[in-house]
Structure 1
């Protein structure tokens, strides 16, 4: 190997040491000038980086480095989402304490991130499992308790009997716990909730402000999750007694088609019926082993049993039977639905299965059947009412209002708005999490921990032997005096959902040493200007973070100026890294170890490949040959700069034709790259443009002292500046040779010279029958007829048109010429 060969394994650590020594990525306490906050979703410290991490962090680092070159003050931090079940499972398997396992993993992964050369301000590093972080969640929880936004209630949950914890709906796969594989059970236990429903309208309206800055797919998913719908609350009086069953319906126009009601298995009426009806009792027991998510209930076979009770139709007084059904959720509305089989497909299938009446009350087309026996599926479209007493003849929209008014007049209903969004259950019956700061007193009930006693620290010494939380058996943690009456009491042993930690970490990064949850620095840096992470977090994490941002505002920690309502101004959801056509996973044996790539090729190659292989929002397929190709490209740039002799001369004016054309290519590349960095974020196009420019520079016949030699020097310097966000180590090292004597990190982003871009010619794409064949230059003032004649006569086209008959020449001005031949 020669002295000037490209050796990233030794070069990159030396460059990183220089960056760290000189503190180039340190963000000031308060931004000066225009700020830019670049953030990737922080990782769980599992112990090893995977290629998805490399892609995520390379994307954000490229953006952060670019914005620094644009003259902005950049905040680019990193931390660790460090609480959670995996640490407990690892501790059980390895006989270690979760805390020790977690901090050991953090140490290792920090080293891996530093080896990638990511431009983090490491002085702002946070780990969510440290008391100086999670104490502020406890503080906020107390504020929310005072405001009535945190509360405890009985709730039906997914219970994993092996992991001994509540599972979110998303953690139940085919009826089994996502980690243990155990059949889940539905249990009713007391849970702590945050009242996110109080912010439903605001969270929905806020999505409009993110239009064009967040992916449409994510906005649609959040709108659907919040699920605002207008309709009527309808009261069905029980035939025996004074109580009513309340249901919500978006289709009060179908009320006269209701033939039965269905209630959840946990509904009080179902539970009461089970006391004397073994069929109902057995059905309720079966329902306990089905997840409580809407998705799981939609896909399962619809089943139910009658409860032996009836209600009266609120407008006709007709008696309707009440069933309990496995497709009704107790947590949605009041756990009851009005069933209209003729106009709801689920109700239609259920009615057919159990031979329940079907009554058509909407005609949605001229030939709509009136006989229910003619129905092959439910008629779900709006239309004109039939068989609906005085409302017959009204269209659906008018009938909704009129029927609702009739219900209000009878005191049996009201117009209302409903949401799919339900309050956030944050209780977890596991150890490795943030203790909920509440105390249970036999005299005073539930009492908050006094602020002066925060944080309630989680003991970290436990050696775990089974999934049961050791907090339940630790008197030192569990036993405490009631802060109100002084009697013997017990601490809450539930810990917070780890989504709580990730719901505000972005704000703490702005002031990680604040002596309160946030200080004035947070308002200066927020919102995050660019957030990057997986689309799998499109709903829960992002929705919870948006909710928390408003909580922080409403307890006085962020300004109520509208500009700080949303936490993330712009969102990019990167695609997965695939190998052999599927997501990388150990179980499939198709993983690629980032460390092996770093050891063989260096960080710049890994970063360049993963940003070049596909647009960031799309999945990319791993390719060993493409990694080698990225490495060869960097080697080529290294040799080109090393071979460049002499200082960069001053450009002479006017330039010769060849030098002028080369300089135009350089500045066209600047223009193209800047557009794709600033707006489109298509880094693959950026890198392709740099590769194309390198080819043009390599072809330059540049003898020292010539115009082309001077332009070549400008081109090489420009190329290093454009590559700096993607291959920063190589760019830094080569800038030492042909740069301006200071680090490339302080050099501004290049700006295209309008004079250099000016041309008397235009390059047009030449197609034959729609397929690209050439790119040719023509005088910019050429008219369409002149272009048609010129392209057919051009020497380069002779081989393409040989033995062909030209049928038509189509000119798209400024872009392309398509020659149609036969």
Structure 2
């Protein structure tokens, strides 16, 4: 049955979204597309079935819904999988894509496959290269030497966001630091605008993560003269506490700081060189860990504090990062906890310059961080440190020693990857002309096929002479191609635009099509993408806006994060904790699996898989199958007034609950409401007290609400009950609040004295009916599975307690 409807839906094109439909508002519902590095696993089913149910629901609300799918097919996962199996990355990837398409179709997903995109297709990555060239021409893409996170196993650089607990997020290998030429996107030019998120309907935790990652700080940059050791040079430091500058007793340089070689004195060189070499093996995460002891080594050089003329020792410390601020920090141990510990360890002076209230001049046992009164601060003594901060900054600026500065934790986006399976960067290097962009009419720069991976780990592009050797576009002389490829996040930073405008060949986008669909109305995906994909996409959108390709500020209006599906309390893994979906679909059907995953718990929180739990959903769908096909001729033309009113009340109350819950991704409570409604319909039929017309209307209502959740069963029963046309092109039922506003009470339902659910029932409900309704409450059913009911206690108007023991 499911295969029949999947084939018909696709043949009829009922999920294809025209750019304009008379009388309907466009609604772009998008879920983050998958990496095709293997089978679609159960976690994918949890994510994509919920997202699909939401898109189906919005169609039935009357929107013209675009719900596309594609494959984020470049990057490390696909290449690593191919290397481990000795396969060609392209063949392996496209085989996985074909399998993923099959699994998505088996899911019954309502994707508009006519807009499918695959990021490793040349007709897609051509436009990655086009965007790179536009960024390059406009100063948003540049190449410079810099320290990079380096994964020894993957032989590639990593963005800071791709380093997790000091290890490569892809393979888990410890990350080191390496200096090399890198390509960057200038995301920091948009740092302030990226902090503006008030217009976004996003989870607050995601906004907070982005704000923290951008990390805006206001302070003062000041130079410490080192002309005694390096003529004409200064060490520049940034601080948010310039009020403490008179308390500087040492300055620490990052191990990568360019002045180290000039400043290190001969009798300190061996120790400094060894220290710098060791620091290169440490990750930034390890070096800046609050739990790690801070270390340093003296250079033998000194710098001059311009405020008081003191000579201050210069050290090298690995807790200072070249990638943050100026790569140097001024040590103020009396007023910084990290500096206090460092000074104690290396017997450096601790000088108080901001005193706490009633300070008696004694030495501090710990650093004093709050504001206070300036002391030992020359002409600023007696000022509050808040006023002192401004006055000292004024003096620094007026004397040309430094300037007020705004800095960011955010670094420019490192986009270079020393891998084969990615978008080639469209740059040529010519001995005469230098760095030359590939002309736009020559795009795409294609990846070579059938490459060989050697044990040295170097990218095949560095060895493929047919790719590497080319002519300079400017002078025609022999030249070399750039062998780095683009970070895969470039592909996903604009893919929503290509979904909206999938067909133009001469331009990356068709403006009217993009305007019809974007910004994306509803975006779904994991919270783990907060400071990678989501931040990069926002930057990309703002850059394209400024380059006049789009007219809006943000790519995604509303964001919903799904939770994590677990099994036995642990993360599902193909190797250590597998849960393949195909056998479950074969045994229970796609609709059963879809509904079970959505019933496990709140979609934004996730839930734990239970092999036995799926049986309850299967029984519910079987009851729908049964009740929908009962012979309505056994019911009369009219029913009793009370029965008719009771069925109408629960029918309209169900619609009210389902419409509200589905709109905010509360699939589990929607299903719970439909379970109760299914029971009510069965009782109404069995009692014979309702009319055939009322009962039939109730069945239609049940099927319409079930359709987004269990699309195959709903479609089959819609046809079997005499309807023509697809149920998925129908509208959601409406509800009448006046029919719902009747005398009801809420009963607490306990199992073994513990509250398990609450049910809303008519105020005059009989005891037997109340107990039966309690047993059929979804959360109560779970706790009755495998149990024998010993006793049923009913307290009218208040609660029901069911006493059980193991069966």
Mapped partners of 2:665, 2:335: distance in 1:
46
8 Å Cα contact 2:74/2:422 also seen in 1: yes
Query: Per the alignment, in what secondary structure is the counterpart of residue 119 of structure 1?
Result: coil
1:522 and 2:514 aligned: yes
Mapped partners of 1:736, 1:369: distance in 2:
88
Query: Per the alignment, in what secondary structure is the counterpart of residue 546 of structure 1?
Result: helix
Query: Per the alignment, in what secondary structure is the counterpart of residue 74 of structure 1?
Result: strand
1:697 and 2:686 aligned: no
Identify the match of residue 457 of structure 1 among 446, 451, 461: 446
Mapped partners of 2:350, 2:167: distance in 1:
36
Identify the match of residue 500 of structure 1 among 476, 480, 490: 490
What 5-or-longer segments of structure 2 have no aligned partner?
765-791, 801-807
- Displacement of 1:400 in angstroms is 2.0
Mapped partners of 1:270, 1:499: distance in 2:
35
1:578 and 2:566 aligned: yes
Greater mean alpha carbon deviation, residues 176-185 or residues 385-394: 176-185
Partner of 2:371: 382
- Displacement of 1:499 in angstroms is 0.8
Identify the match of residue 476 of structure 1 among 455, 459, 466: 466
8 Å Cα contact 2:141/2:185 also seen in 1: yes
Mapped partners of 2:105, 2:761: distance in 1:
46
TM-score, structure 1 normalization = 0.88
Partner of 1:3: none
Partner of 2:642: 657
Greater mean alpha carbon deviation, residues 74-83 or residues 172-181: 172-181
Identify the match of residue 334 of structure 1 among 295, 311, 326: 326
User: Relative to 1, partners in 2 of residues 1:801 and 1:555: Cα closer, same or farther, differing over 3 Å?
Assistant: closer
- Displacement of 1:177 in angstroms is 4.2
Greater mean alpha carbon deviation, residues 380-389 or residues 225-234: 380-389
8 Å Cα contact 1:766/1:775 also seen in 2: no
Task: Kindly provide the CA deviation profile for residues 320-359 of structure 1, in whole angstroms up to 9, marking residues without a partner as x.
Answer: 1111111111111221112211222221221122121112
Task: Kindly provide the CA deviation profile for residues 753-798 of structure 1, in whole angstroms up to 9, marking residues without a partner as x.
Answer: 2342242x2324469999689866559xxxxxxxxxxxxxxxxxx9
What 5-or-longer segments of structure 1 have no aligned partner?
1-10, 780-797, 803-815
Partner of 1:229: 217
Mapped partners of 2:41, 2:290: distance in 1:
35
Task: Kindly provide the CA deviation profile for residues 206-249 of structure 1, in whole angstroms up to 9, marking residues without a partner as x.
Answer: x1211xx2111100000001111111112222251332211111
Mapped partners of 2:545, 2:634: distance in 1:
56
Greater mean alpha carbon deviation, residues 727-736 or residues 247-256: 247-256
Partner of 1:257: 247
Partner of 1:321: 313
Greater mean alpha carbon deviation, residues 295-304 or residues 740-749: 295-304
User: Relative to 1, partners in 2 of residues 1:649 and 1:110: Cα closer, same or farther, differing over 3 Å?
Assistant: farther
Greater mean alpha carbon deviation, residues 457-466 or residues 310-319: 457-466
Q: Counterparts in 2 of 1:72-471, with a 5 A limit? A: 72-172=63-163, 175-178=166-169, 182-205=173-196, 207-210=197-200, 213-238=201-226, 240=228, 241-273=231-263, 276=266, 277-293=269-285, 297-364=289-356, 366=357, 370-372=361-363, 374-375=364-365, 377-466=366-455, 467-471=457-461
8 Å Cα contact 1:291/1:297 also seen in 2: no
Partner of 1:12: 2
8 Å Cα contact 1:480/1:490 also seen in 2: yes
Partner of 1:615: 602
**Number of aligned positions between the proteins:** 762
1:625 and 2:617 aligned: no
8 Å Cα contact 1:427/1:494 also seen in 2: yes
Query: Per the alignment, in what secondary structure is the counterpart of residue 321 of structure 1?
Result: strand
Mapped partners of 1:331, 1:193: distance in 2:
13
User: Relative to 1, partners in 2 of residues 1:647 and 1:502: Cα closer, same or farther, differing over 3 Å?
Assistant: farther
Mapped partners of 1:162, 1:685: distance in 2:
46
- Displacement of 1:298 in angstroms is 4.3
Mapped partners of 1:294, 1:224: distance in 2:
19
Identify the match of residue 677 of structure 1 among 645, 659, 662: 662
Mapped partners of 2:14, 2:395: distance in 1:
70
CA RMSD between the two structures: 2.5
Query: Per the alignment, in what secondary structure is the counterpart of residue 120 of structure 1?
Result: coil
Identify the match of residue 730 of structure 1 among 701, 713, 718: 713
Mapped partners of 2:680, 2:287: distance in 1:
55
Task: Kindly provide the CA deviation profile for residues 98-125 of structure 1, in whole angstroms up to 9, marking residues without a partner as x.
Answer: 1111111101111011000000000111
Q: Counterparts in 2 of 1:810-821, with a 5 A limit? A: none
User: Relative to 1, partners in 2 of residues 1:774 and 1:156: Cα closer, same or farther, differing over 3 Å?
Assistant: closer
Partner of 1:786: none
Greater mean alpha carbon deviation, residues 81-90 or residues 268-277: 268-277
8 Å Cα contact 2:468/2:481 also seen in 1: yes
Task: Kindly provide the CA deviation profile for residues 39-93 of structure 1, in whole angstroms up to 9, marking residues without a partner as x.
Answer: 1110000120111111111121111101100110000000010111233223323
8 Å Cα contact 1:92/1:465 also seen in 2: no
Mapped partners of 1:471, 1:549: distance in 2:
30
Mapped partners of 2:524, 2:362: distance in 1:
55
Mapped partners of 2:416, 2:723: distance in 1:
58
8 Å Cα contact 1:383/1:395 also seen in 2: yes
Q: Counterparts in 2 of 1:782-801, with a 5 A limit? A: none
Query: Per the alignment, in what secondary structure is the counterpart of residue 728 of structure 2?
Result: helix
Partner of 2:629: 642
8 Å Cα contact 1:360/1:371 also seen in 2: no
- Displacement of 1:361 in angstroms is 2.3
- Displacement of 1:174 in angstroms is 5.5
User: Relative to 1, partners in 2 of residues 1:709 and 1:703: Cα closer, same or farther, differing over 3 Å?
Assistant: farther
8 Å Cα contact 1:519/1:557 also seen in 2: no
Partner of 2:777: none
